[in-house]
Amino acid sequence: MPLIVQKFGGTSVGSIDRIRSAAARALATQRAGNDVVVIVSAMAGETNRLLALAGEISPLPDAREVDSLASTGEQVSAALMALAIQAQGGKARSLLGHQLKILTDSAFSKARIKAIDAQRLHDTLGQGTIAVVAGFQGVDDAGNITTLGRGGSDTSAVAVAAAVGAACEIYTDVDGVYTTDPNICPTAKKIERISYEEMLELASLGAKVLQIRSVEVAMKYGVPVHVRSSFSDAPGTWVIGEEQSLEKVTVTGVALDRNEARVMLVGVADRPGIVAQTFGALARENISVDMIIQSPSVHAIQPGSDEGSIRTTDVTFTVTKADLPRAQHIMESLTAAVGAREVRYDEDIVKVSIVGLGMRSHAGVAARMFELLAAERINIEAISTSEIKISCLLATKYAELAVRALHDGFGLGANT
């Protein structure tokens, strides 16, 4: 029998009524002749509420206990979903991460899935039962509960689909992947088909409609992903291999990331090893760094002063806002060792990016992006590029303006 994995996000299980309609959809899919695995997120707002509780107790709470706490949101949804399916005459069984055995590494709050017990799933499905799996959570070798990072239920869904060779449907509060966040830009257009590569960039640059790791897993195992609305039957967006996606347009989408924070080490001694020491310390704590810029220090050294012969540089980088407290802690212990004059932190920034496979073969895309931002008098604080994307760091107040200017400026809008 064909097997379909259906994932329902926070809004789609945000109330008992919505859980009922998701349950009805899963049952209808089963009646149409499929085995069904449902993956659920926590009810909308629940994960934030749980994390805030931990934050009330400590600014740097123990990572193992935070995961144990944060995973409970999905446990509630899974049990309620199973009850809703049963109430509509179906058979259902909820499975938590450790019951299904979604084995992960031990990186709390950002664990990676290592293996999934597919046999356990097949055993459950064998009796005409819908398996309801709690998303976002797993278990490590030592039996600790782990979580997969914010938005991680998408990854649970795609990984389960890969493990059992199923297609994956992601039900959410928009009816597909758009050229930019439709909640920010009213002219955003739904994309019919998008390549894994472009979706990977959009997701990693802030389009939270799919978690980045879910796209990595989909690409690695060739899982076709259909992103669609839980409130309608409209066809959504297919995320698929590059060869099957549409023509390679220069700019496919615009993404906004509000989750970055900037750290600036001012007046660091300009000698070998300093940068390695700084980023080594962050890596050991599992903190990922995004943009990195090294430039001559803003502190001009007076000719003739004692320091006249010492060259210094400023090292600027970005981390996620969630990692900032830990990064701050590390920087404070490092300031003396790297000889930094001062460390500055800035959370009032966003990253706006354009993504498109066609950039590989088109010149002048970056120049056009900078012109469009300049026309709105938006100052660019930092730039980074790859083969198929360009990102600019800006002050938060320009976020929406920049997204709309780039979106419509590159002709992506419904009426441009």
Window of 9-17, 74-82, 199-207, 334-342 that interacts with Mg ion by CB under 5 A: 9-17
Q: Which of 4, 9, 166, 343 touches ligand ADP (CB under 6 A)?
A: 9
> How far is Cα 344 from Cα 236, in angstroms, rounded to an integer?
43
Binding-site residue positions for substrate:
47, 74
> Could you say which residues in the range 192-221 bind ligand ADP, by CB under 6 A?
202, 207-209
> Could you say which residues in the range 230-289 bind ligand ADP, by CB under 6 A?
253
CB 243 within 8 A of CB 168: no
Helix (H) or strand (E) holding 295, with range, is strand 292-296
Q: Which of 151, 236, 253, 267 touches Mg ion (CB under 5 A)?
A: 151
Smallest distance, ligand ADP to C-beta of residue 274, A? 37
* 46-57 and 63-70 helices, crossing angle to 10°: 150
* Residue 391 binding: pick among ligand ADP, ligand ASP, Mg ion, none (C-beta 5-8 Å cut-off by kind): none
Smallest distance, Mg ion to C-beta of residue 150, A? 8
The DSSP annotation for 326-394 comes to: HHHHHHHHHHHHHT-SEEEEE-SEEEEEEE-GGGGG-SSHHHHHHHHHHHTTPPP-EEEEETTEEEEEE
> Nearest to ligand ADP by Cβ — which residue?
9
* Residue 73 binding: pick among ligand ADP, ligand ASP, Mg ion, none (C-beta 5-8 Å cut-off by kind): ligand ASP
CA-to-CA dists, residue 231 to 31, 173, 263, 412, angstroms: 20, 7, 41, 25
> How far is Cα 32 from Cα 83, in angstroms, rounded to an integer?
21
Window of 14-22, 149-157, 289-297, 402-410 that interacts with Mg ion by CB under 5 A: 149-157
By CB under 6 A, tell whether 110 contacts ligand ADP.
no
Helix (H) or strand (E) holding 187, with range, is none
Residue 233: phi and psi, rounded to 5, are -105, 10
Window of 180-188, 268-276, 348-356, 402-410 that interacts with ligand ADP by CB under 6 A: 180-188
By CB under 6 A, tell whether 183 contacts ligand ADP.
yes
Smallest distance, ligand ADP to C-beta of residue 320, A? 16
> Could you say which residues in the range 2-61 bind ligand ASP, by CB under 6 A?
9-10, 41-42, 47
Helix (H) or strand (E) holding 30, with range, is helix 16-31
> Could you say which residues in the range 123-182 bind ligand ASP, by CB under 6 A?
135-136, 150-154
CA-to-CA dists, residue 233 to 9, 229, 279, angstroms: 16, 7, 47
Closest Cα to residue 78, out of 102, 95, 99?
A: 95
Window of 6-14, 294-302, 320-328, 346-354 that interacts with ligand ADP by CB under 6 A: 6-14
Window of 116-124, 177-185, 326-334, 371-379 that interacts with ligand ADP by CB under 6 A: 177-185
Closest Cα to residue 77, out of 181, 142, 129, 153?
A: 153
The one-character DSSP state at 15 is S
With vertex at residue 373, the alpha carbon angle to CA 363 and CA 361, rounded to the nearest 5 degrees, is 15
What residues line the site for ligand ASP (CB under 6 A)?
A: 9-10, 41-42, 47, 73, 135-136, 150-154
What residues line the site for ligand ADP (CB under 6 A)?
A: 9-12, 41, 151, 172-174, 177-178, 180-183, 202, 207-209, 253
